[in-house]
Structure 1
Amino acid sequence: MGGLYVGLTLMLTFNMVVGTGRFEVSILAYFNESGRMAGESCCSGSRDNDTCLSLCPTFLTVCLQHHSAFIPEFPACTYGHAVTPVFNRSLTDDVKPTKNMYFIKIPFQFSWPESFSLVIDAWQEPQLNQSAKDLSNRILRDVVRDKLTPPSLWVKRRTKTAQLELIYEYRVVCDEFYYSDTCEQICRHRNDNFGHYVCDETGSKVCLPGWQGEFCQEAVCTEKCNSSRGYCDKPFECRCLLGWTGESCDKCIPNPGCVHGICYEPWQCICQSGWGGRYCNIDQHYCTNHQPCRNGGTCINDANKNFTCACSVGYTGQRCENVVCYNSICQNGGKCQGTSENNASCVCPNGFYGQHCEYKKHYCKDTNCANAGTCVEEANGVRCLCVEGFEGNYCESEIDECRSNPCKNGN
């Protein structure tokens, strides 16, 4: 038993682009061992004991058109058509009708209608391409009326006469990136600024990890990211909106300069207990905590600058640290010099000293140092130099040597 296996790819294009796919026909086997036409006559050559001496040079035409109950001798092939090359080779007994899987592809660019008619004719080829115009050259016709939705499995078909046998299968599939029963749905894998997804077997978008939304353009932030206060441009990050901070963007940023305050919304400065002012930098208990006023000044808590000192008469400055000249500041005839911006000082007359000339100066002639002490005059008075064993301003006290506990094992 001999056989011939034929396969090729032919393309046909329509202008209107709605859906796009292809109708595929795989010619598995064709047998014409007798070399005869549909009847008893030989395709070519003569007979020898009722055997045709040569094979039929043969080609196939494949016609795909709308579903129709009536197929004319020369159909319209409204969905497309294809023609195989001429095949003519010797047949041998070891050739079997095994599957060779070569395709005839009839592409379409319209919405696949599901129903169709498939017409396959086998022609002898004595006059090349003119043969298909002469019905007397037709060896075999097979007509299929069917319904298929892509992607369909292969449908196998066998047609056979007394002399001929044709085995083939057919299916309809959408082109790459096209889906649905009509091949109209477009889905193309992408991972760029326009989307981050792959397509499943139905053409639906399946977002890549870390992306969401209709076109998978919206990044998925970290699980803890506060959606009203944070956002992300890349998957699994958390970028804070202005005024918020923290790993989850849940911490507000206080007013810049806020010292002892907190916030519940960005740029607030809500003072902690004991603090006041716009930046919570005013100690409301500064007077009690620091007692800054000197020379008898009275401290008053100030909401703008921590404190204010109400100075006693004769003193000035932020902390009443400066002395000003006023009546009776200098005693015993002393003369005051200086202004309110500078510390005032008293120029004391002879015989007096001290900040206010309040101390009378003493002289050795008026001073008696006891216990053989020696008087020495200094700038602010006199001093007694005591001999060993005595102490005091006038060396009037005997030193108690026992105070230092000099005895270790006795009294």
Structure 2
Amino acid sequence: MKSWKVLTILLFAAAGVFREVTPLGGVFELRLRSFTTPLNRDIDGLCCSLNESDCRTKCTPKFRICVKNYQVTIDPSGGCFFGETLTEVLQFNSGGGSAGKSSNLFHFPFNFRWPGTFSLIIEAFQPNPPSTSSSSNSTHRLLTRMAIQQYLDISESWKSREWNSTLNNTLKYDYRVRCLPDYYGEACDKTCRPRDDKFGHYTCDQDGERRCLEGWRGEYCEVAICTPGCLHGSCSTPSTCDCHSGWEGSTCSSCTRYPGCKHGRCTKPYSCECDEGWGGLFCNQDLNYCTNHRPCLNGGTCFNTGQGSYTCECLGGFGGADCEVVKDLRNNTCWCENGGVCKTTTLGLICDCPEPFTGPNCRSTPQSTLAQCPCLNNGTCTSTSPPACLCPPQTHGPLCSILDPTPLNFNICATAPCANGATCTSTTTPHEFTCKCRPGFTGSDCSEKCDATCGLLIETEELKQELSTQHVVFVIVVSVSTPLMILIAVAVVILLKKKKEEERRRNDQVARVQNERNAARDFGNSGGGGNGGSGEKYGIVNSLNNNKKLSNLDLSRFNQQQFSKGPLCSYPSPSSPTPTTTATSYTTNLLPPHSPLLLDPYNPPPNNSTKQQNSPLAPPTPAVILNKFDLVYDLNLATEV
């Protein structure tokens, strides 16, 4: 506790020192311009120079300045709340003008809200020479005292005042109150310090409001203004854009693709959404090889057959995986007459006809040119009139332009007779072929559109055959497995029933043993003869009533034990007189010991024997005799114990 007290005292002391050496808020300033004493006398009428009688020597005053809080009646002896100072001897010009010296300017700083009012006390003293003794034994003599109270607003302007005493002493002075640097407002209670560091970037206006430097915003101008359009980024310096994770670009507007994404794009950071025809995690699995690579050359048709695989259907005269191989034109030439040459184009094989022949097979020619005998295919022009062509073997026609259709120079499929990408198969018969149509087309040349499944008839038949086989297998499996599952279920049910029956038997056995033990315990706990014997038997009955689940074997044991001791009746004690013949007659009415009877002490039978009522030796009224089956429930309930 002492250490805490010491620490508290030190903190308050430090705060007091800080208040003295560190002015906060504002400052009250006083400037003494002149002080004149025409009579050169003090307030008591004495000369400033005590050695003179005519007071010719000028006074050399010192001043006490006290600034305090506003008082209606100023107390010059009280404390100076704003501050107090004692000056050295101040020299003023003899003409009463301003001294104009910095030593005549006094500062009284404060670290609280300026209240708007103040009280000012200015006292002028004439110091006594050290060798001179006065009647008052004082080192100073009062020349004049001025005390005022004023309202004063914060301002940089000086307010000039003049004060005259009764001795014609004149004091001219100026005062003002202003805020210290970094303090603003009507009471100098608002702080604003310009700064340009990590805590802020701003200047201060005349009202103390923060004005952010260019490129900064926020309450303390601590937030940098990023590059215009910076969507997914931030900045620590103005006009920059540092992208967040997963974004890139000058304005962080482009997402970063998943690393390794080849043929894809992203709509969010680190994603890979594949372009059309591509798949896989990295969009590197070609799902549309034909579109992406166009591998089939020379006008071949490309078909996608799987991931990264394809087949090319080539035009006549071309072959190879990509239709890049030009086949032997002897087997794939087109049917050109009159010297036409079969050429390969993107449209297939066409005839390049010589002049003057035209047409798909170069058959057409002007009539005027026939007389010129332009024999083709190595035909020889005769000198007959008109001239004629002598054709070589396997050619015929007027100009030997018709080639005989042999396997060496003709293939009907080379003319692409099948439409819509169908597959052409030539036959051994010239000019005959068959077309295998693609799905959706039909006709001898596959030129007719039809239902999308009409081209799949053969495949459908094969599929039906395959499905029929699958159905047979399925039926066989179901036929075999269903009875097997039924047998397993029946076996499980039988096993569960046997297990439940075994548990029931075991519970019955446990119940029997427990009943036996309870009966034996009750028999052993019953009393002796006489009335006690009767209590024993009553206890046995109660025990049997409480354990109602006794078997026939238990009851037989119980009867043998009880009737071997005597009948279940209660007689007087041995101290009673010996029973008479009446008593003997009574006992002969008892049942034999092998007839199991139980007594119910709570329900006595009706009194039908007058003789027994009048006999002094008659035993108490016997209890009702109950058959053992009246106290034992069905053995089937034994398991409920």
| Higher-RCO chain (CA-CA 8 Å, sequence separation at least 6) | 1
Q: Deviations over 1:208-255 (max 9, x none)?
A: 2111112221111122322xx011111111111111112211111222
| Separation in structure 2 between the aligned mates of residue 231 and residue 179 of structure 1, nearest angstrom | 35
Shift of 1:100: 4.5
For 1:276, the equivalent position in structure 2 comes to 279
For 2:78, the equivalent position in structure 1 comes to 75
Contact 1:29–1:99 (8 Å) recurs in 2: no
Which structure dedicates a bigger proportion of its chain to helix?
2
Q: Deviations over 1:163-205 (max 9, x none)?
A: 3111111112233323333333332222222222222223322
Larger radius of gyration: 2
Q: Structure 2 residue aligned with 1:172, among 169, 177, 182?
A: 177
For the residue of structure 1 that corresponds to 2:84, the secondary structure is: strand
For the residue of structure 2 that corresponds to 1:52, the secondary structure is: coil
Which structure dedicates a bigger proportion of its chain to strand?
1
For 1:255, the equivalent position in structure 2 comes to 258
Contact 2:234–2:241 (8 Å) recurs in 1: yes
Identity %: 32
1:148 equivalent to 2:149? Answer no
Contact 1:19–1:112 (8 Å) recurs in 2: no
Shift of 1:19: 4.6
Q: 1:147 to 1:13 in 2, by over 3 A?
A: farther
Contact 1:19–1:111 (8 Å) recurs in 2: no
Q: Deviations over 1:130-157 (max 9, x none)?
A: 9999799222222221223434421111
1:119 equivalent to 2:121? Answer yes
Q: 1:14 to 1:278 in 2, by over 3 A?
A: closer
Shift of 1:73: 3.8
For 2:97, the equivalent position in structure 1 comes to 96
Q: Deviations over 1:89-130 (max 9, x none)?
A: 8x645x6336556411122233332221111111111168x9
1:209 equivalent to 2:214? Answer yes
Shift of 1:290: 5.1
| Separation in structure 1 between the aligned mates of residue 64 and residue 23 of structure 2, nearest angstrom | 27
| Separation in structure 1 between the aligned mates of residue 137 and residue 208 of structure 2, nearest angstrom | 43
| Separation in structure 2 between the aligned mates of residue 28 and residue 267 of structure 1, nearest angstrom | 80
For the residue of structure 2 that corresponds to 1:168, the secondary structure is: strand
Given the two structures, how large is their TM-score scaled by the length of structure 1? 0.60
Contact 2:91–2:99 (8 Å) recurs in 1: no
For 1:306, the equivalent position in structure 2 comes to 308
Q: Structure 2 residue aligned with 1:196, among 183, 196, 201?
A: 201
Q: Deviations over 1:360-409 (max 9, x none)?
A: xxxxxxxxxxxxxxxxxxxxxxxxxxxxxxxxxxxxx9xxxxxxxxxxxx
Q: 1:291 to 1:72 in 2, by over 3 A?
A: closer
Contact 2:263–2:274 (8 Å) recurs in 1: yes
Given the two structures, how large is their TM-score scaled by the length of structure 2? 0.40
Shift of 1:72: 2.2
For 2:37, the equivalent position in structure 1 comes to 32
Q: 1:60 to 1:257 in 2, by over 3 A?
A: same
1:239 partner amino acid: D
Contact 2:233–2:241 (8 Å) recurs in 1: yes
Aligned positions of 1:46-61 closer than 5 A: 51-61=54-64
For the residue of structure 2 that corresponds to 1:157, the secondary structure is: strand
Count of equivalent residues: 289
Aligned positions of 1:7-406 closer than 5 A: 14=19, 19-38=24-43, 40-45=45-50, 51-87=54-90, 92=94, 96-97=97-98, 99-100=100-101, 102-126=104-128, 137-161=141-165, 162-226=167-231, 229-287=232-290, 289=293, 301-302=305-306, 305-307=307-309
Contact 2:265–2:275 (8 Å) recurs in 1: yes
| Separation in structure 1 between the aligned mates of residue 248 and residue 173 of structure 2, nearest angstrom | 69
| Separation in structure 2 between the aligned mates of residue 73 and residue 216 of structure 1, nearest angstrom | 50
1:37 partner amino acid: D
| Separation in structure 2 between the aligned mates of residue 287 and residue 176 of structure 1, nearest angstrom | 80
| Separation in structure 1 between the aligned mates of residue 254 and residue 224 of structure 2, nearest angstrom | 22
Q: What are structure 1's unaligned runs of at least 5 residues? A: 1-11, 293-297, 310-318, 320-396, 398-411
Contact 1:55–1:88 (8 Å) recurs in 2: no
Q: 1:287 to 1:88 in 2, by over 3 A?
A: closer
For the residue of structure 1 that corresponds to 2:239, the secondary structure is: coil
Q: 1:138 to 1:92 in 2, by over 3 A?
A: closer
